[in-house]
């Protein structure tokens, strides 16, 4: 699911990018469209997100050239090392309309249509030939896709691991019997990662809307009580430290008897914030040395995402979970075509993947 962001912990992360320049007019239009979509959605949050990024607007000259930054320095890029994880976006429709959903999901947004089980199967064949071991599913809410259980079964029956990002609300709960059967057959090869945006109801509902806390928590408890392999995706409020957040989640999990170790970064993944309209430094080739990071640590070194955009005849491969719409981050029709290196030419590359709150100015 959208912030049901799709990273995993290489550094605390394992899961979105767009064409050429992020021009301000386009991002403003998107912001308006998202706001309109939200106001049309029942139970959508009415105010600004408590997790919003406070920064100046992104200057239009930034992220406009895949090779060079606005200052004329060489832009960093990431080669594909191995395709460890292949993500499928199951479709953008969602039962919620969260305030900062990076993929702009809502009950009405079908910009990414429901992907079909046969298309998934074809990509699974190709991924297995490339040595992929893990398949991720994100949305929207994956359990809203009518073909989702079939593709999940197909994945697990092949001996692959599956990671499903869900809000654990009604769309998932409708499939309890089928999920219990999958757990019986495949055990811990199926992991469901539930987005609980904050360890407080006010933080969570500020982002996800009223009446989203109890059902989400109940879904997480159901998974826990029934022995599923589970993880939780959370966020930090402005000024909240990582340690304080983990303590907060630990108290919640203990009080609710939820089997998640809040101090294990694989089980409680805390994500940095994203906002493509806000200013952020561009990543140059020198940043790797300054930050002590390697291109191999970045999500697009080991993963790709398959999306089926509305109006396109077939699914296509995007660089990552974070940039599904931008044609500049479309890699082709097959995984083989999608194996070339990725220029870090999007604000998400900088704010979310490389900097994650750090700075790379010398």
Residue ranges in contact with ligand SF4 by CB under 6 A: 1-4, 17, 78, 94, 96-98, 101, 103, 105, 139-141, 167, 195, 298-300, 319-320, 322-323, 329, 342, 344, 346, 348-349, 353
Minimum CB separation of residue 185 from ligand SF4 in Å reads 27
Gap between the Cα atoms of 290 and 339, Å rounded: 27
Cβ-based neighbours of 193, under 8 Å, separated by 6 or more: 4, 163, 164, 165, 166, 230, 231, 232, 233, 269
Minimum CB separation of residue 360 from ligand SF4 in Å reads 13
Looking at the Cβ atoms of 69 and 186, the one nearer to ligand SF4 is 69
Gap between the Cα atoms of 55 and 67, Å rounded: 25
Largest CA distance in the chain: 57
Looking at the Cβ atoms of 77 and 229, the one nearer to ligand SF4 is 77
Using CA atoms, how far residue 145 sits from 5, 135, 318, in Å, is 18, 16, 20
Looking at the Cβ atoms of 32 and 185, the one nearer to ligand SF4 is 32
Looking at the Cβ atoms of 55 and 180, the one nearer to ligand SF4 is 55
Nearest 10 degrees: Cα torsion 164, 169, 170, 176: 50
Minimum CB separation of residue 341 from ligand SF4 in Å reads 10
Looking at the Cβ atoms of 166 and 186, the one nearer to ligand SF4 is 166
Minimum CB separation of residue 160 from ligand SF4 in Å reads 21
Looking at the Cβ atoms of 162 and 168, the one nearer to ligand SF4 is 168
Alpha helices, DSSP H only, in the chain?
Answer: 24-39, 117-129, 148-157, 170-173, 176-186, 201-208, 213-225, 242-256, 287-291, 347-348
Minimum CB separation of residue 157 from ligand SF4 in Å reads 26
Local structure of residue 349 (DSSP, 8 states): I
Minimum CB separation of residue 239 from ligand SF4 in Å reads 22
């Amino acid at each position: 699911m959208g912030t049901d962001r799709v990273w995993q912990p290489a550094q605390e992360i394992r899961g979105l990018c767009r064409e050429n320049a992020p021009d301000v007019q386009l991002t403003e239009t998107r912001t308006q469209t998202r706001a309109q979509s939200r106001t049309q959605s029942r139970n959508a949050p009415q105010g600004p997100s408590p997790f919003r990024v406070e920064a100046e607007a992104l200057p239009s000259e930034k992220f406009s050239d895949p090779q060079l930054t606005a200052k004329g320095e060489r832009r960093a890029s990431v080669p594909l090392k191995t395709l460890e994880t292949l993500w499928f976006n199951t479709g953008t429709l969602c039962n919620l309309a969260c305030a900062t959903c990076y993929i702009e999901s809502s009950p009405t947004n079908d910009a990414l249509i429901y992907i079909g089980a046969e298309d998934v199967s074809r990509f699974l064949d190709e991924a297995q030939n490339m040595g992929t071991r893990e398949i991720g599913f994100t949305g929207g809410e994956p359990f809203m896709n009518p073909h989702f259980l079939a593709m999940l079964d197909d994945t697990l029956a092949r001996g692959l691991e599956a990671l499903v990002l869900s809000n654990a609300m009604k769309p998932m709960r409708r499939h309890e019997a089928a999920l219990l059967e999958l757990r019986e057959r495949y055990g811990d090869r199926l992991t469901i990662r539930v987005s609980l945006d904050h360890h407080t109801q006010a933080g969570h509902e500020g982002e996800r809307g009223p009446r989203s806390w109890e059902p989400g928590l109940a879904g997480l408890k159901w998974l826990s009580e029934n022995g599923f392999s589970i993880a939780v995706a959370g966020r930090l409020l402005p000024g909240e430290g990582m340690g304080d957040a983990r303590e907060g989640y630990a108290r919640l999990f203990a009080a609710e008897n939820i089997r998640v170790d809040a101090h294990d970064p694989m089980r409680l993944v805390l994500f940095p914030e994203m906002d493509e309209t806000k200013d952020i430094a561009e990543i140059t080739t020198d940043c790797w040395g300054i930050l002590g990071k390697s291109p191999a640590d970045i999500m697009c070194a080991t993963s790709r995402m398959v999306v089926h955009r509305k109006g396109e005849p077939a699914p296509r491969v995007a660089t990552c979970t974070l940039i599904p719409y931008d044609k500049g981050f479309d890699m082709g029709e097959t995984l083989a075509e999608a194996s070339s290196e990725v220029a870090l030419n999007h604000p998400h590359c900088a704010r979310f993947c490389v900097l994650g709150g750090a700075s790379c100015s010398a």
